Structure 1
Amino acid sequence: MQGICSDPIHLKIFSPHVITLTLVDLPGITKVPVGDQPDDIEFQIRDMCLKYISNLHSIILAVTAANTDLATSEALKLAKEVDPDGRRTLAVVTKLDLMDHGTDAVDVLCGKVIPVKLGIIGVVNRSQADIINRKDIQEALKDEASFLQKRYPSLAGRNGTPYLAKTLNRASYTFLLMHHIRDCLPDLKTRVNVMAAQFQQLLNSYGDEVQDKPQLLLQIITKFAAAYCNTIEGTAKNIETTELCGGARICYIFHETFGRTLKSVDPLVGLTQLEILTAIRNATGPRPALFVPEVSFELLVKRQIRRLEEPGLRCVELVHEELQRIIQHCGTQQEMLRFPKLHERIVDVITTLLRRRLPITNQMVENLVAIELAYINTKHPDFDEAKLIYRGMSEDLSLDGELKSKIVAHPANKQVSLSIPGEGSHEPTAPINFAAYSKAKIDISSETLLNSYASSHGNSRHGSAAQSPSRKGINLLDEVPSMPLGRKLHAHEQRDCNVIEKLIRSYFLIVRKNIQDSVPKAIMHFLVNYVKDNLQSELVSHLYKQEEIDKLLEESEQIAARRREAAETLKALQKAGQIISEIRETHLW
């Protein structure tokens, strides 16, 4: 397997002669895949190297062979990408003994080819043959020193493996490392202080060890009840910005959801003119009516008012659901997470309280509708439509009076005289033929007028001759339908239906306005405000019991483990801050 893996291999070396530091040995850049290496092996190695050397708190050792062109060094190229000023780059030139004859690395080691601020150190390592022949390291160091003294006499003291070790291990590198740390200290100290403050806050949120359990239980109950009521009132500390909750959602239910639903209920929904006409006829009994019966109006308008009960009950249900949802919103407090059994019992108590108030509130909403049904107040000050309608009916009756005069003046009614008071008529009066008028009003047809005319002239013989002998003794009446047949309404029937529709619409709008105003008030009084006023007392009476306190305040194992971790991390951060302060007070020159 010639591929690479990003998982590091950790190797710890202990020695009293070295300083404490972490050395990361990264693979060399491979240009051409070999064997079973993937095609993108170059990019994998490059990404891995950049991951480590991009750390601003690290020192880069750019290793390059002396028998290659230093200008083509991939190590120096990567180092320059992340450290363009060269402040944390140290170049190491290997294989000085493998350079071509007639060439040397003097210019490279002196920094004349590519300058590196931290310096360039040349070394001579053991060859592969030396490794196979088990050449001793001490002997290899002697050979390296002899080579440097022979080829680079003026530079021998500042190159070689021992000098590199001293640079990395002794005062010179300590000076380098400390200066680098000194540059990074402000940022490090800021990060440590911020993290320490965060973990201190996290530790405070987990709470201290419980000392006085009864007192803590009362504090938690009081805090939860206050948070619940504040969410309804809109005075909570943490205000939601993603959705409506609490009192704002209840307000939306009252004035948007409930109000829009009521406005969508048409006053005449599910009511046809045929049904209105049937109700009018049923209210008149066997007598044809001269006026629209008030009973039919009451029956029909009550039917429409009953449709307002369902939206009111649905409004109660939506508010109840929101009050239930507030429990979960307030349950995100740290105390609820710390004591899960206490949170469970609080949810049970409030749920029971809401469930107990639900039927009472529903009954009140039903009573509001029943109150409207109990008395149809046609003298309501806003019921002006009735006055206008009846004024119009009076005008119609005056027109009917003219029609009666014309009927009486018809030749078929010559034997009937009509005396209208106030016109100075002294002729003897005779009773008005209201039967003929009523019949004309209900169904004035040519056949009816002809029969009436023939009867008035006493033409009984002609009338009897007109009858067909074939129909004698046969029942000419059809079966009476349960509902009037679907035919076009007569003018007076259409007028009566229009009158009833206008009355229903006018009175329905009055009742709908009352319901829209009274249902939210009833819900607030019997459900919302009652829960607010009695929530804390309910929690105390059900939860503050000596035999249950220990069980309710049993802490979650997960919270306890998090507290220990936060305390340990905070302690380590405080120690790191102390060390950084000591370094800043140390004079490095």
Structure 2
Amino acid sequence: METLIPVINKLQEIFSTVAAEIIQLPQIVVVGSQSSGKSSVLESIVGRDFLPRGSGIVTRRPLILQLVNVASAEERKLAASGDTGEGRLSRPSSSGIVADEWGTFLHCKNKIFTDFDEIRQEIESETERMTGSNKGISPEPIHLKIYSSTVLNLTLIDLPGITKVPVGDQPVDIEHQIREMLGLYISNPNSLILAVTAANTDMATSEALKLARDVDPDGRRTLAVVTKLDLMDAGTDAMDVLTGRVIPVKLGIIGVVNRSQHDINVNKSIADAIQDEQTFLQKKYPSLANRNGTKYLSKTLNRLLMHHIRDCLPELKTRVNVLTSQYQSMLNSYGHPIEDHNATLLQIITKFATEYCNTIEGTARNIETSELCGGARICYIFHETFGRTLESIDPLTGLTTLDVLTAIRNATGPRPALFVPEVSFELLVKRQIKRLEEPGLRCVELVHEELQRIIQHCSTYNTQELLRFPKLHDAIVEVVTGLLRKRLPVTNEMVHNLVAIELAYINTKHPDFSDAAMVSASVNSSQSEVHPDGTRKWKMEKADDKLSEEKSRNPSGSAYASPSKGQVVNLLDAPVPVSRKLSLREQRDCEVIQRLIKSYFLIVRKTIQDSVPKTVMHFLVNHVKDNLQSELVGQLYKSQLLDGLLTESEDMAAQRTEAANMLKALQRASQIISEIRETQLW
């Protein structure tokens, strides 16, 4: 299983290049308060001084520390290859490295650091580059890999120490920033938490253990480290703490003794400090000495990390495979870089035109389920909206009996008519037929609006291609809109002509038209049965009660006041009566005309109801369908427009590059994971 940690290190490097947070890799996260001894613990594990030191927040960016066990310089001289055995990795011999220990940073791959003081300076300068000098922090990690023959394979993440009160020029919300950063790393379910707490503080108030418990309440992935065992008050010890009787931690509690500031000042080596640590533990905690100390901590971390990686590996492999498939599909949707502009333009135009026509025909791939769209909505407009509107028009609406009677009398001229004049019927029926024109024009307008909506519908289901080329999208919309705009007046004119044709010739010989003689006979028969005495009154809609009263007092029919004695009466100035009793003949003539108007109007309405949809389909819908692609090709397929129309949007290009990089990283990760043999897991 020794090879598992280097595998995770490789995966970490791969995903760090694409800033991927979608893969949660197994790792050890080190958390603790300021001055709890985190840096000293890490340096003791590495065996080298390499971390920045000072007052306040020194660690202001996450440090991903990968420890790689390699052969010593002497062993590498004897080895022909870079491998000295399973799990013991080294740089290639061609690198010319003769030191036993060296380090590399991900942000400067080609530089090898053999001086650990330079490593410290590089950490400080890289931190300053990202966070400035105002003690601010940044979640952007620094990747450091240390190769040594004295370390065990480990991956550790050193995080800023927990602080509560801003010092100096630290931001006022420094505590909130740090806790957010810590939560980002320790909330990863695949991470192990190394909670560092000083022995000379109360474990019950340990900030590190409190944070760990918030995300890991069962303590299944938390390992506690108690530092500064040698600084406890005289007469006290950490026996209860180290045995887990104070705060139980499932993965255990390990005590260590780090170098003091005095030891650092006098340049006491870490090797000597580890030797003194063992002496102290043997003397102070003899029964626990073999289960505490820096060496035991390193071995425990190595063991825990390997087993944790083994447990997480199946889920990690599945996650990588799923994401690989998703990003492959995403990359395919963005399209490939354009090689042939002509072919690409024709392909997009053809696809859009086909989708547009299929939406009208109802054969599109993506059928709308939330509302009527395309051809279905056009059908609804024809037979529901337009059809119901025509059916709701009463043939005699707006036509009063007085209008009919006036038309009859005007058509007779100065002589009383013996028969109902035909001219009055034609005059009145044309007036009613004219009312059918407005619904027809409104039907054209509704269909035109739906054809406009189909453009947006097709754009929605071809989003990736049209978003990729925004100028081409705008040009296509403009061409289709222009084509529709050109056909609108032509279609309106034809609808106008349909009504004009009906008005041009009133065909009283139409087979469905009621025979005038039969209608007249029917009216006469009806009146004789219902009103044999002829006393039925027909009141006009615009009745004038005063004139009616005067008419009743003036049997001669003149609607003027009786002159007083000595007053000259001017009969020529008398007003035309507007309300009076209709004679039986007048009643009969009006009813005949009304029945004939209704009969003929229904014939024309039926014709218009059938002709307008056909007109709209021929002059607008079918014309657009038949000429859409040729119109698009004719206006857009021009050499001088190709480069401009196929200019890719910056967002789409950036998304494709990001998806391609992520896919490459996932494929590389999948390859690395697949190389792990089943026997390596046990």
Relative to the length of structure 2, the TM-score reads 0.66
- Cα distance in 2 between the residues matched to 1:584 and 1:491: 112
- Of 514-523 and 283-292, deviating more is 283-292
| Amino acid in the other structure paired with 1:361 | T
Matches within 5 A, 1:439-588: 476-479=570-573, 484-492=576-584, 493-494=586-587, 496-545=589-638, 548-549=641-642, 552-583=645-676, 585=678, 587-588=680-681
In the alignment, which residue of structure 1 is the partner of 2:348? 220
| Amino acid in the other structure paired with 2:159 | D
Cα distance, 1:150 vs structure 2: 1.6
SS of structure 2 residue aligned to 1:215: helix
Matches within 5 A, 1:27-426: 27-28=161-162, 49-67=182-200, 70=203, 75-99=208-232, 101-111=234-244, 114-125=247-258, 130=262, 136=268, 138=270, 141=274, 143-164=276-297, 166-167=298-299, 172-332=300-460, 333=462, 334-384=464-514, 389-395=519-525
SS of structure 1 residue aligned to 2:501: helix
SS of structure 2 residue aligned to 1:331: helix
Closer, same or farther: CA 375–323 of 1 in aligned 2, 3 Å: same
Deviation per CA, 1:434-455: give whole Å up to 9, x if none.
Answer: xxxxxxxxx9999569xxxxxx
Cα distance, 1:183 vs structure 2: 1.7
| Alignment check: 8 A CA contact 2:310 2:681 kept | no
Closer, same or farther: CA 38–262 of 1 in aligned 2, 3 Å: farther
SS of structure 2 residue aligned to 1:574: helix
Cα distance, 1:255 vs structure 2: 2.4
| Amino acid in the other structure paired with 1:21 | T
Larger-Rg structure:
1
| Alignment check: 8 A CA contact 2:139 2:181 kept | no
| Alignment check: 8 A CA contact 2:136 2:171 kept | no
- Cα distance in 2 between the residues matched to 1:520 and 1:78: 72
| Alignment check: 8 A CA contact 1:123 1:160 kept | yes
SS of structure 2 residue aligned to 1:575: helix
| Alignment check: 8 A CA contact 1:385 1:502 kept | no
- Cα distance in 1 between the residues matched to 2:651 and 2:204: 57
- Cα distance in 2 between the residues matched to 1:553 and 1:41: 48
| Alignment check: 8 A CA contact 2:256 2:293 kept | yes
Q: Higher helix proportion, which one?
A: 1
Deviation per CA, 1:127-169: give whole Å up to 9, x if none.
Answer: 6x749977856476555444322211232233234543x23xx
- Cα distance in 1 between the residues matched to 2:524 and 2:587: 17
| Alignment check: 8 A CA contact 1:182 1:584 kept | no
In the alignment, which residue of structure 1 is the partner of 2:159? 25
| Alignment check: 8 A CA contact 1:96 1:105 kept | yes
| Alignment check: 8 A CA contact 2:331 2:659 kept | yes
- Cα distance in 2 between the residues matched to 1:400 and 1:193: 91
| Amino acid in the other structure paired with 1:260 | R
Deviation per CA, 1:264-296: give whole Å up to 9, x if none.
Answer: 434333333333322121112122335443322
SS of structure 2 residue aligned to 1:256: helix
- Cα distance in 1 between the residues matched to 2:436 and 2:363: 34
| Alignment check: 8 A CA contact 1:29 1:74 kept | no
| Amino acid in the other structure paired with 1:248 | A
SS of structure 1 residue aligned to 2:368: coil
| Alignment check: 8 A CA contact 1:93 1:122 kept | yes
Cα distance, 1:370 vs structure 2: 1.6
- Cα distance in 1 between the residues matched to 2:292 and 2:502: 106
Percent of aligned pairs with the same amino acid: 67
- Cα distance in 1 between the residues matched to 2:532 and 2:377: 63
- Cα distance in 2 between the residues matched to 1:354 and 1:324: 8
* Pairwise CA RMSD: 4.2
Cα distance, 1:523 vs structure 2: 0.6
Deviation per CA, 1:48-99: give whole Å up to 9, x if none.
Answer: 6544322111111123444566566564455345335533211112342344
SS of structure 1 residue aligned to 2:195: strand
What stretches of structure 2 of length at least 5 have no aligned partner?
1-55, 58-134, 535-550, 558-562
- Cα distance in 1 between the residues matched to 2:529 and 2:416: 19
- Cα distance in 1 between the residues matched to 2:207 and 2:530: 113
Cα distance, 1:231 vs structure 2: 0.9
- Of 37-46 and 577-586, deviating more is 37-46
| Amino acid in the other structure paired with 1:392 | S
| Amino acid in the other structure paired with 1:191 | R
Closer, same or farther: CA 14–52 of 1 in aligned 2, 3 Å: closer
| Alignment check: 8 A CA contact 2:361 2:375 kept | yes
SS of structure 1 residue aligned to 2:147: coil
Cα distance, 1:567 vs structure 2: 1.8
| Amino acid in the other structure paired with 2:605 | R
In the alignment, which residue of structure 2 is the partner of 1:461? none
Closer, same or farther: CA 106–327 of 1 in aligned 2, 3 Å: same
| Amino acid in the other structure paired with 1:23 | I
| Alignment check: 8 A CA contact 1:385 1:506 kept | no
Cα distance, 1:536 vs structure 2: 2.6
In the alignment, which residue of structure 2 is the partner of 1:16? 147
- Of 229-238 and 504-513, deviating more is 504-513
Closer, same or farther: CA 552–81 of 1 in aligned 2, 3 Å: closer
| Alignment check: 8 A CA contact 2:523 2:591 kept | no
- Cα distance in 2 between the residues matched to 1:42 and 1:468: 110
Cα distance, 1:228 vs structure 2: 1.1
In the alignment, which residue of structure 2 is the partner of 1:435? none
What stretches of structure 1 of length at least 5 have no aligned partner?
405-442, 450-466
Relative to the length of structure 1, the TM-score reads 0.75
Cα distance, 1:575 vs structure 2: 0.8
Cα distance, 1:302 vs structure 2: 0.9
| Alignment check: 8 A CA contact 2:223 2:252 kept | yes
- Cα distance in 2 between the residues matched to 1:339 and 1:301: 57
| Amino acid in the other structure paired with 2:499 | V
SS of structure 2 residue aligned to 1:587: helix
| Alignment check: 8 A CA contact 1:292 1:496 kept | yes
Closer, same or farther: CA 183–494 of 1 in aligned 2, 3 Å: farther
- Cα distance in 1 between the residues matched to 2:235 and 2:530: 138
| Amino acid in the other structure paired with 1:372 | E
SS of structure 2 residue aligned to 1:308: helix
- Cα distance in 2 between the residues matched to 1:557 and 1:44: 33
Cα distance, 1:180 vs structure 2: 1.2
SS of structure 2 residue aligned to 1:271: coil
- Of 579-588 and 517-526, deviating more is 579-588
Q: Higher strand proportion, which one?
A: 2
